[in-house]
Amino acid sequence: MMKRHGLSAFDNNSQQFTELGQSLIRRKSKELSTQLQLFKQILMNFLDEHNDELTEDLQLRNEFVKTCSLVGIDPLKIYGKHTKMNEFYYELCCRIIEYCNSTRDINGGMIKVSQLLAQLKESGVVKEDIHRCVSMMQMLNEELQIVTIGHHEYLKNVHIGLTKDQTMVFDIVNQIGSITSRMLCDNLQWDYIKCEQLLQSMVSDGYLWVDVYKGKVHYWDPSWSV
Amino acid sequence: MSFTFPKIYNFPPFFTKQPNEQTWSAQRQQWVQLILSYCRFHRIWIMNDRGVVLSQGDVESESLEDSQQDVDSTSEVFHNEAIDRQLDIDTIRLLFKEMLRSGDVSPVDGKSKSNSTQYYVNWNRPDDWAAMVLEWIESTGQAGTVLTLYEIANGDLSLKQEFHGIHPRILEMAIKVLVKRGRAQILRDEDGRIGGVKVQ
């Protein structure tokens, strides 16, 4: 190819410069992310080795947690259950309350424990942890309870208690997703009007969602939406 | 790559306006979020209040606006065929009214704000578009030069910008933001239309 002179000679060069620049940036960011990974690893090792000191020395622990959160380590991981720190549970309590509050308008304050666990899956939280947190928090908030309906556990975060009838509706709706007034009265041999009123009251409490489909009204359990 | 709908899109009651006011407000938020992210993904500029897409994708000139296909088919965002559910027109209207109030859409017919039936969907607010255009003009050394709207939206220099192919009227809104801030001057042609913009 003929060597180009004048201004046109710059055309090709600028392309090469861009490529070079980009490859430098790529290499740099790869190096940094490796270093960060390593640093995280070292922090976690430090946590294992100095567990006792961290448990006793509050100041040290605070500094440590601060450093960890700077590099993006989830506090729930730091307060792993193998340490003696209660903070794991404090932190978990906050997460539970946060999640309950943010979904309250969707489910009326009744949340499936399994849904909560799915939400916290990454932190390795198990059902017993949630039970423990709930019993810790009951001192502050008596409304918070775990209720078992059918085969499912729910975390209840509303002050109104469920009636026996409502509990039965919950049990049925949970298994099949949705229900109509007719189905309810066929299944439980209740009066049609009673079924209708019961379902509608559960809608106004925010426990159920309405689905009008081909002229029929179906009542749905919001936990099927996630 | 196709748009990933949120899980609630497959939840049948999502397509019925909830009678419980509190539940409805949560439902409404989910809808607004869905509409905005859907429009962002498909680069939808204009929708009418029946949920029909009127302008989408890279817009080369305003004349494209007239070539609407499927005038009466509601966008799939409001119509989930898999579960055979469709949000009714009244609720869609209500959503657009709400989005108008919060600035998530702007009326196409600027004067009659309350009874507009077509809306620009602001998946980026005019302020955001303005900031992008400004940054691009500054970083490409075009400050102080006169640019046509076409050059900004469709020129080769802006190929990699998010605003490349932007609907000209939305670009106008963004430019007007810059004018208000004293960062841009509009030069009009004989017909009173915007001929060029000078940003500094």
Q: Is A6 domain-assigned? A: no
Considering the domain architecture, whether residues A130 and A152 belong to the same structural domain is answered as yes
Considering the domain architecture, whether residues A151 and A104 belong to the same structural domain is answered as yes
Place A209 in a pLDDT band, splitting at 50, 70 and 90: very high
Of A113, A137, A156, the residue at which a domain comes to its end is A156
Domains of chain B, by residue range, sit at 7-121, 126-199
> Residue B30: is its pLDDT beyond 80?
yes
Across the strands, what pairs with B132? none
- What per-residue confidence (pLDDT) applies to B123? 94
Considering the domain architecture, whether residues A89 and A74 belong to the same structural domain is answered as no
Q: What is the distance in angstroms between the Cα of B146 and the nearest Cα belonging to chain A?
A: 24
Higher pLDDT pick, B58 / B167: B167
**The listed CATH number (1.20.210.10, 1.10.10.10, 1.10.3720.10, 3.40.440.10) that belongs to domain B126-199:** 1.10.10.10
> Which residues in chain A touch residue B20, judged by CB atoms under 8 angstroms apart?
203-206
Considering the domain architecture, whether residues A151 and A202 belong to the same structural domain is answered as no
- What per-residue confidence (pLDDT) applies to B67? 46
The tens digit of pLDDT for each residue in B114-169 reads 667 889 999 999 999 999 999 998 888 888 888 888 888 888 888 888 999 999 88
Considering the domain architecture, whether residues A103 and A71 belong to the same structural domain is answered as no
> Which residues in chain B touch residue A178, judged by CB atoms under 8 angstroms apart?
12
Most confident of A49-63, A71-85, A171-185, A207-221: A207-221
> Which residues in chain B touch residue A211, judged by CB atoms under 8 angstroms apart?
12-13, 15-16, 85
> Residue A161: is its pLDDT beyond 90?
no
Considering the domain architecture, whether residues A61 and A97 belong to the same structural domain is answered as no
> Which residues in chain A touch residue B25, judged by CB atoms under 8 angstroms apart?
105
Q: What mean pLDDT is predicted for residues B23-38?
A: 94
- What per-residue confidence (pLDDT) applies to A8? 60
> Residue A79: is its pLDDT beyond 80?
no
Q: Is A5 domain-assigned? A: no
Q: What is the distance in angstroms between the Cα of A104 and the nearest Cα belonging to chain B?
A: 9
Considering the domain architecture, whether residues A95 and A131 belong to the same structural domain is answered as yes
Considering the domain architecture, whether residues A30 and A91 belong to the same structural domain is answered as no
Of A156, A182, A205, the residue at which a domain comes to its end is A156
Which of B7, B18, B84 lies at the smallest CB-CB distance from A209?
Answer: B18
> Residue A50: is its pLDDT beyond 70?
yes
Q: What mean pLDDT is predicted for residues B72-83?
A: 88
List b or e across A132-153, with b for residues whose CB sees 16 or more CB atoms inside 10 angstroms.
ebbeebeeeeeebeeeebeebb
Q: Is A11 domain-assigned? A: no
- What per-residue confidence (pLDDT) applies to A138? 82
> Which residues in chain A touch residue B84, judged by CB atoms under 8 angstroms apart?
213
Mutate which of B11, B34, B79 to disrupt the A interface (most A C-beta within 10 Å)? Answer: B11
- What per-residue confidence (pLDDT) applies to B66? 47
- CB contact under 8 Å between A206 and B23, yes or no, is yes
How many whole angstroms separate alpha carbon A202 and alpha carbon A220?
10
Place B47 in a pLDDT band, splitting at 50, 70 and 90: very high
Considering the domain architecture, whether residues A98 and A62 belong to the same structural domain is answered as no
Q: What mean pLDDT is predicted for residues A181-193?
A: 88
Place B110 in a pLDDT band, splitting at 50, 70 and 90: low
- What per-residue confidence (pLDDT) applies to A211? 94
Q: What is the mean pLDDT of chain B?
A: 87
What are the CA-CA distances from residue A27 to residues A36, A39, A40, A218, B83 (Å)? Answer: 14, 18, 20, 57, 48
How many whole angstroms separate alpha carbon A22 and alpha carbon A90?
45
Complex-level ipTM: 0.79
Q: What is the distance in angstroms between the Cα of A89 and the nearest Cα belonging to chain B?
A: 29
- CB contact under 8 Å between A212 and B18, yes or no, is no
Considering the domain architecture, whether residues A107 and A136 belong to the same structural domain is answered as yes
Closest alpha carbon within chain A to B13: A211
Q: What fold characterizes domain B7-121?
A: Arc Repressor Mutant, subunit A (1.10.10)
Considering the domain architecture, whether residues A78 and A89 belong to the same structural domain is answered as no
Considering the domain architecture, whether residues A101 and A129 belong to the same structural domain is answered as yes
| Stretch among A51-65, A127-141, B85-99 having the lowest mean pLDDT | A51-65
> Residue A84: is its pLDDT beyond 50?
yes
Q: Is A3 domain-assigned? A: no
Domain range for residue A190?
164-225
Which of A206, A210, A212 lies at the smallest CB-CB distance from B22?
Answer: A206
- What per-residue confidence (pLDDT) applies to B36? 96
Structure tokens at A70: 């700077």
- CB contact under 8 Å between A108 and B26, yes or no, is no
Q: What mean pLDDT is predicted for residues A52-72?
A: 78
Phi and psi at residue B170, to the nearest 5°:
-70, -40
> Which residues in chain B touch residue A222, judged by CB atoms under 8 angstroms apart?
11
Of A156, A178, A199, the residue at which a domain comes to its end is A156
**Three-class secondary structure assignment of chain A:** CCCCCHHHHHHHHHHHHHHHHHHHHHHHHHHHHHHHHHHHHHHHHHHHHCHHHHHHCHHHHHHHHHHHHHCCCCHHHHCCCCCCCCHHHHHHHHHHHHHHHHHHHHHCCEEEHHHHHHHCHHHCCCHHHHHHHHHHHCCCCCCCEEEEECCEEEEECCCCCCCHHHHHHHHHHHHHCEECHHHHHHHHCCCHHHHHHHHHHHHHCCCCEEEEECCEEEEECHHHHC
Q: Domain count of chain A?
A: 3
- Please tell me if residue B83 touches chain A, with a CB cutoff of 8 Å: no
- Please tell me if residue B67 touches chain A, with a CB cutoff of 8 Å: no
Same fold, B7-121 and B126-199: yes
- Please tell me if residue B57 touches chain A, with a CB cutoff of 8 Å: no
CATH of the domain at A96: 1.10.10.10
